[in-house]
Amino acid sequence: MIQHDVPLVRLNTFKLPCVAERYLALTDLRQLEGPEFKQAPELVLGGGSNMLLLDQVPGLTVHVSLGGVQLLTPVPVRKTSSSLDTGTLIVRVAAGVDWNQFVRYTLDQGWYGFENLILIPGTVGAAPVQNIGAYGAEIAERIEAVHVWEYGIGVRVLTPEECEFGYRDSRFKQEPGRFLITAVDFRLNGKHELKTGYGAIQTELARLKIDNPTPNDVALAVTNIRRSKLPDWFFLGNSGSFFKNPVVPMSVHNRLKTEYEDLPSYPINPGHVKLPAGWLIERAGLKGMRNEAVGTYEKQALVLVNHGSATGREVLNFSESVQAGVLTKFGVELEREVQVLGVSTV
């Protein structure tokens, strides 16, 4: 049933005031056969993270609320009380399932592979769009298939290759308005293959005095790191990392390294290097900066926060000032990670 003029302030993690002109909760796949899905809605809403909403979303907003987790392959036989055999598990998860709750569920079940991606806000259906990643892991590494509704065509199942995943990117992001994700099949392991090479994880594990970590130990370390650096959106509105870490030519990196010896960097290939956007913002003197209700988070410059009464336009304007400051200081352009949606009414 379509509702009209529905407030979305509680349905986006930035807590920005926004009104959906028309709103429909998708709770059953059979709804996709209705006339509302002959063409793409203006907004497909999951957990409301990784987006910046302006005053109004014209047209139809579809809130994907599909639930359910299904194991498609048998659970491996336990060898001991604390380990599983090395069987691969294929798990189908509906698009409306909360991502963090799903990750915690996999750990409880002994299904491993997502421990580095714990505590990321949003839903399962939104995760492939952004190809979410953190602390050395990306969701694309574990995707077996993505189930979609293609507007004007119908049900399709896309392979990982067809999804065209890249760094914080995918076909879904590049072709907005073509697909609605209904479920994702993930490939997980009964025996863990830990990724602990990220420096912050190693530091936290050492602080916890853990020499031989389990997946739950890695999840604990990541949880501690994220909570120490990132605000809880329930108390302080935000969308997590607002900007992508820029990938620059080696010549740009070498130029900056001669001037800033402590510049962190992560080689991507022989000709390009990834730079931490948070470091650039902080060294530009913008960490903790505030303009009325909008600011950079005092503990992590990469995060923009709503101190309580910000509008989407105010956040957007503030983000542009941060981009300008980094460009002036370093000659490096920052690209927004969040999507800007809706229109301003003033």
Pairs from 171-178 (Cβ < 8 Å, separation ≥ 24): 172/128, 172/129, 173/129, 173/130, 173/339, 176/40, 177/40, 177/151, 178/40, 178/150, 178/151
Tell me which of 22, 142, 168, 171 is the catalytic residue: 168
337 carries an active-site annotation: yes
d(C-alpha 117, C-alpha 140), whole Å:
12
Say how far apart CA 293 and CA 82 lie, in whole Å.
49
Active-site choice (170, 239, 241, 319)? 241
d(CA 45, CA 6): 13
CB count in 10 Å sphere of residue 52: 22
Say which of 42, 115, 204, 337 is annotated catalytic: 337
Q: Which two tokens stand for residue 200?
A: 């912050």
Amino acid 148 reads V
8 Å CB contact between 307 and 235: no
Place of tokens 């000032």: 321
Give the C-alpha separation, 188 to 100, whole Å: 16
Distance CA 44, CA 125 (A): 10
HSE of 278, CA atoms in CB hemisphere, 13 A: 14
Q: What is the Cα 175 distance to its own chain's centre?
A: 18
Tokens 């505590």 -> residue: 119
In contact, 297 and 303? CB cutoff 8 Å: yes
Which residues are known catalytic residues?
Answer: 168, 241, 337
